[in-house]
Amino acid sequence: MKRARQKVVAENEAPQTSQKSKKQKTCSYGSVFGGSDLHASMDWGNLPHHVILRIFQFLPLVDRARASSVCRRWNEIFHIPDLWRRFEFELSQPATSYLKSTHPDLIQQIIKRHGDHLQYVSFKVDSSTESAEAACDILSQLVNCSIKTLGLISTAKPSFMNVSKAHFASALTVVFVNSKSLSSIKIDDTPLDDPSLKVLVANNSDTLKLLKMSSCPHVSPAGILCVADQCHGLKELALNYYILSDELLLALSSEKHVDLEHLRIDVVSENPGQAEFHPIKKQSWDALVKHSPKVNIVMYFFLYEEEFDAFFREETPVTHLYFGRAVTKAMLGRIGMNCPRLIELVVCANGLQPLDDELIRIAERCKNLTAMGLGECEVTCKGFIEFVKMCGGRLTQLSIMEEVLIPDNDYSLDRLHLEVSKHLGRMWFPDMMPTW
């Protein structure tokens, strides 16, 4: 009887001990958060306003929309204007794209409730015409916007080029007319035209600072000249070479114009022999550099070998050069003679003739050169070491494919990396893959 009573007491005490243990465990977790009970101390509905706002800023749009249904307060914060200053519309056709498209219902809610809050807006579209047209439809509805930056991005082929010029121009006109404070526009590979640029200038000439419009075939030299003549605060400009002119450079060099900081020029040819490239006078380049002595002039070349004849016959103040196709030895020789401001040079391909003399000439004449990249071309180890020796420690970036370097009687590849490292003042090895 006594043994039975002890068993009953033990069974009754066991749950109490377990309950006590659980309570102690809960307290130990709660103490981390400064309270005895985690659930009692963490009232998600009453988090400080700035904390919830910060959480929402890090959430993807879909998750942010779901979080807004937690409680009324979170829903109110979801619609705070500060959350809608910066927004990227992702538009895609599910069958043809990896992009996660912004839901149409959510787009309409954004336009209805936050169209006038949007300031930094971009559209990322896939390769389908439908997605580009959808972007234009959204732009057409932003009648109360105050956009400061606008970017149109095609993730694959330039789908905006398939939109009718009238539809695209109409959509841009809505934004250009209503914003009146645009400072940055990136609309590469689009059917932008001269009348649209005139509307842009008429409404945003005092605020426009950056304009990137490479591969816009409907823009003429007169159209871009209109921008330069009236947008005196323009600091960055990207365009195709065919609309670059002496008149444009002189307009950018006028006393009314602020110092230009960045000029990017794309020199592109799709079919060999079909494009003619006009020369730019040395006096025009000199005027630009005199007016804006710190300007970076960046040129991207995608030409065939027989199309380089018009370039660098005279001194040209280019600072960054990138060759996406094969470039001739003669062209590299002219760069060494006529590009004294050169800072960076990348050659993706050249041929089977060693470039020793051309590189040494570049090292001699281009005293500002700090970055070099070489791909499918050839340089002897001796010539390459001479080039590095002449440049010295100012070469902060040196990306050379291993197959570019030809061993000779003076240097093997093993010895080469030691010699180059010595002249650079840091450990250096050739690359196995391109890094530019």
pLDDT in tens, 283-308: 999 999 999 999 999 999 999 888 89
Is 102 part of a structural domain of the chain? yes
pLDDT in tens, 32-67: 334 445 444 556 667 787 888 888 878 777 787 788
**Paired residues of 240 in beta bridges:** 266
Question: 198 and 129 in one domain?
Answer: yes
Q: Which of 408, 402, 345, 409 is nearest to 377 (CA)?
A: 402
* CATH code at position 199: 3.80.10.10
Question: 77 and 152 in one domain?
Answer: no
Instruction: Please compute the mean of the pLDDT values over residues 6-16 and round it to a whole number.
Output: 49
Q: What's residue 36's pLDDT?
A: 45
**Of 9-13, 19-23, 284-288, where does the model show the most confidence?**
284-288
Is 203 part of a structural domain of the chain? yes
- The more confident residue out of 350 and 419 is 419
Q: Would you give the distance in Å from CA 293 to the centre of its chain? A: 25
- Of the candidates 83, 105, 130, which is a domain's last residue? 83
Domain count along the chain: 2
Is 187 part of a structural domain of the chain? yes
Contact 126, 102 (CB under 8 A): no
pLDDT beyond 70 at 4: no
* CA distance linking residue 119 with residue 156, whole number of Å: 26
* CATH code at position 62: 1.20.1280.50
pLDDT in tens, 260-281: 999 999 999 877 666 678 999 9
Question: 88 and 166 in one domain?
Answer: yes
- Of the candidates 83, 107, 136, which is a domain's last residue? 83
Query: Could you give the C-alpha distances from 316 to 319, 339, 340, 350, 354, in angstroms and in order?
Result: 9, 5, 8, 22, 25
Question: 126 and 90 in one domain?
Answer: yes
Question: 189 and 152 in one domain?
Answer: yes
Least confident range from 115-129, 189-203, 371-385: namely 115-129
Question: 88 and 210 in one domain?
Answer: yes
Average pLDDT, the chain: 84
Question: 137 and 191 in one domain?
Answer: yes
pLDDT in tens, 243-256: 999 999 999 999 88
What is the domain range of residue 123? Answer: 84-219
Strands ordered across the beta sheet of 371-376: 86-91, 120-125, 149-154, 184-186, 210-212, 236-240, 262-268, 296-302, 320-326, 344-349, 371-376, 397-400
Is 315 part of a structural domain of the chain? no
- Of the candidates 219, 237, 256, which is a domain's last residue? 219
| Rg of the chain taking only CA atoms, in angstroms | 31
Question: 62 and 188 in one domain?
Answer: no
Is 23 part of a structural domain of the chain? no
Question: 196 and 93 in one domain?
Answer: yes
pLDDT in tens, 215-231: 899 999 999 999 999 99
Question: 93 and 79 in one domain?
Answer: no
Is 229 part of a structural domain of the chain? no
pLDDT in tens, 164-213: 999 999 999 999 999 888 999 999 999 999 999 999 999 999 999 999 99
Question: 201 and 74 in one domain?
Answer: no
* CA distance linking residue 433 with residue 436, whole number of Å: 9
Is 332 part of a structural domain of the chain? no
Is 206 part of a structural domain of the chain? yes
pLDDT in tens, 315-358: 999 999 999 988 889 999 999 999 999 999 999 887 678 999 99
Question: 63 and 167 in one domain?
Answer: no
Contact 314, 340 (CB under 8 A): no
